Amino acid sequence: MLPAMTASSPVPAAPLIIPCVDIQSGRAVRLYEGDPDRETVYFESPLEAARHWVGLGAGLVHLVDLDAATGRGENRAVIAQIVAELGVPVEVGGGIRDRAGAEALLQSGVDRVVIGTAAVKNPELVAELIAAHGPERVVVSLDARGLEVATHGWAQGSGIGVAELTPRLADVGLETLIFTDVTRDGTLKGLNRELMREVRQLWINTLIVGGGVANLDDVRLLAEEGIQGAIVGRAIYEGTLAYPVSL
């Protein structure tokens, strides 16, 4: 089962820190500001990366198929191996464009799918998936520059604002939203407090954020702003934030 985490629950002393394994060309990498040509390889094997975090106590791992997100290919076989062998819940995003693709992942054992570009281009898809599988198995990821949503692996601006999308998503029953600040992702620059506060005000349900988490100060910021957790990559890979995290 996924870790218990609802918007109505008290914010924990230490918000949930979810290790991220970004997969590109079959390796575990992190990108700088989402640029697929500016990668750092942390593990040759994404499975070993995921096992590493589970060994340190992770109860949920966030996987991103960067090749699928950017249209350069896909890493579904690698993801299937991780899901089969890891032993803890896994959520997967990147290149999920339609219901068939989402349901193939859910049927393979993925605990929840993370819908990004498709939630902007085809919001009916989110409603269909929630109706069929329940809100606990569907997450939407809004990746943005400021409050403008970016799509297609962060390469394109959508012209659509977060404030426009969040009411629609709430209306179709979405419980968990991931918001990523593209301009800080992979940079270790720290969270943009004002932006995080704005998004918190726009989304009343469970909010998970990403983009720039660098150290314990950012985790404290999450708690102070009432944000349930963060997806973290580079900071825990490079040790600027010790994992597991405690305040």
Residues recognised as catalytic? 22, 143
Distance CA 142, CA 175 (A): 14
Are 65 and 95 within 8 A, CB to CB?
yes
Distance CA 187, CA 38 (A): 11
- How many residues in total does the chain contain? 247
Residue 20, φ and ψ in degrees, nearest 5: -110, 135
CA 131 to chain centre: 21
Question: Can you list the positions of beta strands (E) in 119-216?
Answer: 138-145, 148-151, 156-161, 176-181, 206-210
Nearest to 173 by CA among 231, 128, 229, 226: 128
Nearest to 214 by CA among 243, 191, 198, 180: 191
> Six-digit token pair at 45?
């094997």
Number of helices and strands in the chain (H, E): 10, 12
Distance CA 11, CA 6 (A): 9
